[in-house]
Amino acid sequence: MSESSRTIETVELAVRGRVQGVGFRIFVAMTADRLKVSGWVKNLPDGSVQIQATALRSILDELITAVTVGPHGSRVEQVETLKQKAPGHLAEGFEIR
């Protein structure tokens, strides 16, 4: 395992496509809970979904892969990294806002 994959990071993502009204936030929260990712997910007025996630880099990569596919009924067109923060501490829990 490389040093970067053992570093705790926080990323903020914007997910665009058909991602509201299809259980997308619940999908993200369930995936994050399974992977032990902390953070939050929320709908934005423009129809996109914003995610802030904190975990080991390798775990964040798994979350991003899952989000890129999305749940049945969604259509993810773009996953954009808005911010990537330096190593931090891992807080508890993941919430839907």
Instruction: With CA atoms as reference, report the closest residue to 60 among 12, 3, 1.
Output: 12
Any catalytic annotation for residue 75? no
Question: In 1-97, at which residue ranges do the beta strands (DSSP E only) sit?
Answer: 8-18, 38-43, 49-56, 75-85, 94-96
The residue from 6, 16, 43, 75 that is catalytic is 43
The residue from 25, 34, 57, 75 that is catalytic is 25
Residues assigned a catalytic role: 25, 43
